[in-house]
Amino acid sequence: MSSVKVKLKDGSVKEFPRGTSFLAVAEGISRGLAKAALAAKVDGEVVDLAQPLNQDAELEILTFDTPEGQDTFRHSSSHILAQAVKKLFPGTNLGIGPAIANGFYYDFDSEHVFTPEDLTKIEQEMDRIVKQDYGFERSEVSREEAIKFFEARGEKYKVELVQDLPVDAVISMYRQGDFVDLCAGPHVPSTGKIKAIKLQSVAGAYWRGSEKNKMLQRIYGTSFPKQAELEDYLFKLEEAKRRDHRKIGMELELFSFHDEGPGFPFFHPKGMVLRNELENFWREQHKKNGYQEIKTPIILNRSLWEQSGHWDHYRENMYFTKIDEADYAVKPMNCPGGILVYKTRLHSYRDLPIRMGELGLVHRHELSGALHGLLRVRNFTQDDAHIYLLPSQVKNELMGVISLVDYFYTVFGFEYHVELSTRPENSMGSDADWEMATNALQEALEAKGVNYKVNPGDGAFYGPKIDFHLRDCLGRTWQCGTIQLDFQMPEKFDMHYIGEDGQKHRPVMIHRTIYGSIERFIAILTEHYAGAFPLWLSPVQVRVLPISDRHEEYARNVAAELSTADVRVEVDERREKISYKIRQAQMDKVPYILVVGDKEVESRAVAVRRRGEGDLGARELDEFVQQVIGEIAKKL
């Protein structure tokens, strides 16, 4: 029997007999790998482990640690859900059951209305199916065979799906036990792989997403290879609810939303303190790194947006108005305005790079159903910067931006991963420009030693980009910072500089943000810290609590000294028990609580309580003031 070669993800090459299953290949690599294996990725295509290896290929054995492995695992879980529902509720018609982020769902057409109690029964039946360890068996059939099979079982939705498949489509079905479903696959080897399942909710969903069709019942669930992983995920779900920035924002009086302005946030005084601290930090660091701050108008003429390409590529997300019978648009992005600032005077090659930063308010039309607190709004402030530079300066400037982004995220305590997004379908510009820009971003990342993954086709319409995805304390990721290299805008706006040869040349343009948007970053920080912001960011850094009214004057003096040192401080003079005032300050997540009574007045001291640590005992007032000043300066 002839052999074939496989190139593994680590670059090594192994030989196996032609026709060896991918599961056997995994066993040949490592018994542990074979045990964890869920599917195989062969020359970029995800397939069942039971399929044979028939030719030389690049191969990756997929486990639950990979996105494709998780999708395969959870799609297989949806088939188990469908099998359980068909067993418990005969006569139910099946819709579709895909994997989704962190879980799966299946749509059902049933006369029975599913209840929370039903979900428990279905879970128990799913557990029984798992214990039976049925193999997922794939078969390929003709269109006629598939239609005949599902018509005989009254599965009208499956018949419709088969009829809508392309003429040349490969039609496959999967069987586990006595259950058969229409499915392209792939699936895990057997139901026994799905060790931990939780059904979470029931919702209505129109068949194929159209309100013209019947409303089906959609059961959502999630699954993991181990019970401990499921329990950890469910704990984090509950913790995420507790940390919801919308809830905390109201409790801490940071921001609010109102029906009079859906998607337009209202910032309260304490929220403005937090916001201003973020902006001040941004200004301080950008000044140190050679950026000049600018401000551009919110409303600009239609001709500008036509010139930039936004009118053709982004119009559905924009707001419009008329001024003096001419068309204007509310800016969805800051870059065209920044370009106009660049063009107000002639630049020499000696001037470049020019770094311009703008905390610019932009507006984008979002569907009402997509709005979500500060995470998805209709107006927000982007911490934009645009760098105009020589082609020879691109690599160094990109490396400088990467370093600055890393510094910001380190200060906030975020880990992150990086993605390189390449040319999308609706792009502008030549192949040569796109290749040059993409290569420059790759070279900068590699020169900085940054690990990254490629995200094909997700670049901006005018250039490729680097995206920074923050990881919060619950393991969730948020795309915030971005770096975009642009050869298109300088061309479209006829931008130039005078080179060493005295001739006009096109500059290169870098677009970049670090926070992404101030509003969204505040939402992420609020959930990451559960409202217990670091001392330097906290709207109220110290609260002074007099034990009785005779201690109020001293409490005010303590607050005055702290305020003189630029510490944000409040005095709680309410006629309440000291235990109540301490509890309230803790609920308000104030970093430092100072209790003052007779002893403190006599010795010019304060009794210090620190958030998360409790009672630290008495400290001299001057010593405490210096301590707090030092901690704020260190961004603690």
In this predicted model, what pLDDT tens digit does every residue of 183-205 receive, in sequence order? 999 999 999 999 999 999 999 99
CB atoms within 10 A of CB 537: 19
Q: How far is CA 171 from CA 142, 167, 529, in A?
A: 7, 10, 49
- Residue 15 sits in a domain whose CATH number is 3.10.20.30
Please indicate, yes or no, if residue 322 is contained in any of the structural domains.
no
Please indicate, yes or no, if residue 246 is contained in any of the structural domains.
no
Helix axes 156-163, 143-152, angle to 10 degrees: 170
Please indicate, yes or no, if residue 320 is contained in any of the structural domains.
no
Instruction: Please give the pLDDT value at position 488.
Output: 83
Instruction: Please give the pLDDT value at position 309.
Output: 84
Do 290 and 432 lie in one domain? The reply is yes
Tell me the pLDDT tens digit for each residue of 625-634: 999 999 999 9
- Strand-pairing partners, residue 362, are 380
Please indicate, yes or no, if residue 199 is contained in any of the structural domains.
yes
Do 112 and 192 lie in one domain? The reply is yes
Do 50 and 80 lie in one domain? The reply is no
Instruction: Please give the pLDDT value at position 425.
Output: 83
The predicted model gives 48-61 an average pLDDT of 91
The predicted model gives 102-107 an average pLDDT of 96
Do 152 and 211 lie in one domain? The reply is yes
Query: Catalytic positions, please?
Result: 335, 364, 382, 384, 386, 465, 511
- Is this structure's pTM higher than 0.85? no
Q: What percent of the chain has pLDDT over 90?
A: 85
Instruction: Please give the pLDDT value at position 312.
Output: 84
- Strand-pairing partners, residue 197, are 223
State the Cα–Cα distance between residues 110 and 88, nearest whole angstrom: 11
Tell me the pLDDT tens digit for each residue of 9-27: 888 888 899 999 999 999 9
**pLDDT higher than 70, residue 286:** yes
Domain boundary among 23, 47, 63: 63
Domain boundary among 63, 92, 107: 63
Confidence of residue 428 (pLDDT cuts 50, 70, 90): confident
72 alpha carbon, distance to own chain's centre: 22
State the Cα–Cα distance between residues 70 and 67, nearest whole angstrom: 5
Do 56 and 205 lie in one domain? The reply is no
Q: What is the DSSP string of 323-376?
A: ETTEEEEE-S-SHHHHHHHHTTS--BGGG-SEEEEEEEEEE----GGG-BTTTB
Q: Which domain holds residue 45?
A: 3-63
- Strand-pairing partners, residue 618, are 607
Closest CA to 373 of 219, 533, 576, 519: 519
Do 100 and 157 lie in one domain? The reply is yes
- Residue 513 sits in a domain whose CATH number is 3.30.930.10
Confidence of residue 41 (pLDDT cuts 50, 70, 90): very high
Do 384 and 508 lie in one domain? The reply is yes
State the Cα–Cα distance between residues 269 and 292, nearest whole angstrom: 28
Domain boundary among 13, 40, 63: 63
The predicted model gives 289-304 an average pLDDT of 96
Q: What is the DSSP string of 510-541?
A: EEEESSS-HHHHHHHHHHHHTT---TTT-S--
Confidence of residue 1 (pLDDT cuts 50, 70, 90): low
Do 77 and 110 lie in one domain? The reply is yes
Please indicate, yes or no, if residue 177 is contained in any of the structural domains.
yes
Closest CA to 526 of 278, 265, 239, 245: 245
Q: If you ran DSSP here, which 8-state letter would residue 589 be given?
A: T
Question: Is the CB of residue 547 less than 8 Å from the CB of residue 597?
Answer: yes
**pLDDT higher than 80, residue 514:** yes
Average of per-residue pLDDT values in the chain: 94
Closest CA to 524 of 333, 361, 334, 373: 373
Q: Which of 122-131, 173-182, 428-437 has the lowest mean pLDDT?
A: 428-437
Confidence of residue 600 (pLDDT cuts 50, 70, 90): very high
The predicted model gives 141-157 an average pLDDT of 95
Per the structure, how many domains does the chain have? 4
State the Cα–Cα distance between residues 442 and 466, nearest whole angstrom: 9
Query: Which residues have C-beta within 8 Å of that of residue 66, sequence separation ≥ 6?
Result: 60
Q: Which two tokens stand for residue 457?
A: 């086709």
Q: Which amino acid is at 320?
A: F
Q: What percent of the chain has pLDDT over 70?
A: 100
**pLDDT higher than 90, residue 177:** yes
Question: Is the CB of residue 486 less than 8 Å from the CB of residue 465?
Answer: no
The dihedrals phi and psi of 4, each to the nearest 5 degrees, come to -130, 155
Do 87 and 58 lie in one domain? The reply is no
Do 281 and 428 lie in one domain? The reply is yes
Tell me the pLDDT tens digit for each residue of 328-375: 999 999 999 999 999 999 999 999 999 999 999 999 999 888 899 999
Please indicate, yes or no, if residue 619 is contained in any of the structural domains.
yes
Scored b (16 or more CB within 10 A) or e, 67-103 reads ebbbbbbbbbbbbbbbbbbbbebeebbbbbbebeeeb
- Residue 75 sits in a domain whose CATH number is 3.30.980.10
Do 26 and 137 lie in one domain? The reply is no
Please indicate, yes or no, if residue 492 is contained in any of the structural domains.
yes
Confidence of residue 433 (pLDDT cuts 50, 70, 90): confident
- Residue 555 sits in a domain whose CATH number is 3.40.50.800
Q: How far is CA 164 from CA 74, 75, 168, 169, 521, in A?
A: 25, 21, 11, 10, 44
The listed range with the strongest mean pLDDT (27-31, 457-461, 463-467, 501-505) is 501-505
E strand map for 233-325: 255-256, 266-267, 292-293, 299-301, 319-323
Helix axes 67-88, 116-132, angle to 10 degrees: 110
State the Cα–Cα distance between residues 384 and 287, nearest whole angstrom: 14
Please indicate, yes or no, if residue 482 is contained in any of the structural domains.
yes
Do 517 and 546 lie in one domain? The reply is no
State the Cα–Cα distance between residues 482 and 384, nearest whole angstrom: 10
